[in-house]
């Protein structure tokens, strides 16, 4: 009876459908074909529960199997879909539909999807900030389309100083982070055959400020990490990780991988281009107390160089990250004043210093030189008058010159010797009469002949003394004697 009832319902519905189709065909013949109206395409950012009957055009960006760790059994299939406007949304598939959608939706391909459901996004391990999560099922229709205008990546990177408040909390979305690979650890195995065996590998990621955070990956992701291809990639290798859980471990911050975590090496994103423009090198600086190793990042390292890092790389035809350019090697054995700080994450025995800036050592101040004062001559009336008088030069023609007066100086010079000679004779006469006899000496006496021109000069100076000492009568007699002679 039930089967018959079902058949009756089916047949009834079929007959009614056939009648309506005939009616539509007859109407179209009378009035022409009805226009075909395509449904409106909805952007992911504008998607609302009332728009679930409208199609979306998306690109499959990520795909993973959801699990309840540590249980290895899958619980469903998850996707992150990208829109042309750069928005993103998560879509889930139940366990019984996994095989169907795993083959129909391929990574990197674009599709037009219709007839899907939705639910509110849960806070626990939320991958995106979108409040809605799509649900795909047996009625969902998927049609491939061309990859036109879709972005290649979607990230919402967090800065290093934002990781602290996200640690060990369920209120935040899973974290995306970017930096350069600083170190890759070995695989470590935990557990035993009686419980679970877990593989773990640590990858150190360093940002432009020199801060290092540990990225911990597990099991298959740890074993499949491409160590052999890192050396063949452009250096330094940039890694972008997505959907990580921030934890505090051993006094530091750790990015722990989740089932939704992906990592990308040297991705083509804007943040990676900024890192490429940053130059980094290490230098050993020393003073009288010891030496330390300092990591120098640009633009702080530009204070040591003569140009910016962009100009520096333009001078090198084939830059090698493992070979220092000559302009940096020339910094050896130079003296500077360095400003450094201790990087976060440093610990005892492993202290890391980051350069904040450098400057040249200031030159010593020259010794103070006292000004030399000019010597001042002694103050006299002559110098005072000469300082006040201003000499003037007046040019006089030869016709205006007056000849000097006639001088009798030459006649007086000729007359002086005869007067001196006569005076000498007269002086010798008076000295002989007044000479006192000397006692006899058996030793010979040396005599010195004095020229007549010198001896009279000495006797002439003594004449006034004798005249002043003699009496007036004797001077009169001497004058008369001179007249007779």
Domain boundary at 210, 242, 271, which?
271
- pLDDT, residue 17, reads 41
Domain boundary at 360, 394, 421, which?
360
Which candidate, 51, 32, 35, places its Cα nearest to that of 43?
A: 51
Are 196 and 247 within one domain?
Answer: yes
pLDDT tens, position by position, 368-415: 777 776 766 665 555 555 555 555 555 555 555 566 666 565 555 655
Surface-to-core class of residue 165, CB atoms within 10 Å of its CB (0-12 exposed, 13-18 middle, 19+ buried):
exposed
Are 265 and 227 within one domain?
Answer: yes
- pLDDT, residue 402, reads 61
List the single range of 4-8, 200-204, 271-275, 300-304 with lowest mean pLDDT: 4-8
* Domain CATH number, residue 98: 2.40.50.140
CA distance linking residue 317 with residue 296, whole number of Å = 23
Percent of the chain surpassing pLDDT 70 = 65
Identify the bridge partners of residue 255 per DSSP, sorted by sequence position.
Answer: 215, 246
Are 335 and 285 within one domain?
Answer: yes
- pLDDT, residue 469, reads 44
Domain boundary at 312, 333, 360, which?
360
CA distance linking residue 245 with residue 173, whole number of Å = 9
Instruction: Please give the tally of structural domains in the chain.
Output: 3
Contacts (Cβ under 8 Å, ≥6 apart) of 205: 177, 178, 179, 180, 181, 182, 212, 213, 214, 215, 239, 241, 255
Q: Which range of residues forms the domain containing residue 311? A: 277-360
Are 263 and 321 within one domain?
Answer: no
pLDDT tens, position by position, 37-62: 566 777 787 788 777 788 999 999 99
pLDDT tens, position by position, 122-158: 887 789 988 899 999 999 999 999 999 999 999 999 9
- pLDDT, residue 79, reads 96
- pLDDT, residue 403, reads 62
- pLDDT, residue 26, reads 53
pTM: 0.57
Percent of the chain surpassing pLDDT 90 = 30
Count the Cβ atoms, other than its own, within 10 Å of residue 265.
16
Q: Has residue 390 been placed in a domain?
A: no
Q: Has residue 41 been placed in a domain?
A: no
Are 267 and 290 within one domain?
Answer: no
């Amino acid at each position: 009876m039930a089967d018959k009832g079902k058949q009756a319902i089916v047949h009834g519905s079929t007959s009614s459908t056939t009648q309506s189709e005939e009616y539509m065909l007859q109407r179209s013949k009378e009035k022409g074909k009805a226009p075909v109206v395509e449904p409106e395409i909805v952007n992911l950012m504008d998607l609302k529960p009332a728009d679930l009957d409208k199609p979306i055009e998306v690109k499959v960006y990520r795909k993973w199997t959801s699990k309840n760790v540590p249980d290895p059994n899958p619980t469903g299939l998850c996707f992150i879909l990208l829109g042309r406007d750069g928005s993103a949304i998560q879509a889930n598939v139940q366990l019984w539909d996994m095989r169907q959608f795993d083959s129909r939706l391929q990574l990197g391909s674009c599709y037009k999807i219709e007839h899907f459901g939705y639910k509110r996004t849960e806070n626990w391990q939320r991958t995106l900030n979108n409040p809605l999560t799509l649900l795909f099922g047996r009625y969902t229709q998927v049609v491939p389309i061309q990859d036109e205008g879709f972005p290649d990546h979607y990230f919402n990177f967090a800065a290093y100083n934002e990781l602290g408040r996200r640690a060990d909390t369920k209120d935040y979305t899973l974290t995306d982070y970017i930096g350069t690979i600083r170190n890759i650890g070995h695989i470590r195995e935990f557990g035993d055959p009686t419980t679970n065996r877990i593989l773990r590998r640590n990858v150190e990621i360093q940002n432009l400020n020199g801060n290092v955070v540990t990225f911990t990956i597990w099991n298959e992701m740890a074993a499949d990490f491409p160590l052999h291809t890192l050396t063949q990639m452009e250096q330094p290798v940039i890694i972008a990780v997505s959907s990580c859980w921030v934890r505090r471990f051993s006094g530091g911050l750790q990015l722990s991988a989740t089932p939704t975590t992906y990592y990308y090496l040297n991705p083509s994103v804007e943040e990676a281009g900024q890192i490429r423009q940053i130059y980094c090198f290490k230098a050993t600086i020393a003073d009288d107390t010891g030496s330390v190793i300092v990591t120098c990042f640009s633009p702080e390292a530009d204070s040591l160089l003569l140009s910016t890092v962009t100009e520096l790389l333009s001078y090198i035809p084939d830059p090698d990250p493992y070979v220092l350019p000559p302009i940096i090697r020339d910094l050896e054995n130079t003296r500077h004043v360095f400003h450094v700080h201790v990087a976060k994450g440093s610990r005892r025995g492993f202290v890391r210093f980051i350069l904040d800036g450098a400057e040249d050592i200031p030159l010593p101040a020259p010794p103070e030189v006292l000004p030399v004062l000019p010597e001042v001559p002694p103050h006299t009336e002559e110098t005072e008058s000469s300082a006040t008088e201003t000499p003037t030069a007046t040019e006089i023609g030869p016709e205006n010159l007056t000849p000097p007066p006639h001088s009798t100086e030459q006649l007086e010079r000729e007359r002086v010797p005869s007067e001196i000679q006569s005076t000498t004779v007269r002086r010798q006469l008076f000295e002989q009469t007044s000479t006192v006899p000397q006692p006899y000496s058996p030793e010979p006496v040396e005599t010195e002949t004095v020229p007549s021109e010198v001896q009279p000069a000495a006797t002439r100076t003594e004449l006034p003394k004798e005249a002043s000492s003699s009496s007036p009568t004797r001077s009169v007699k001497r004058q008369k004697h001179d007249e007779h002679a």
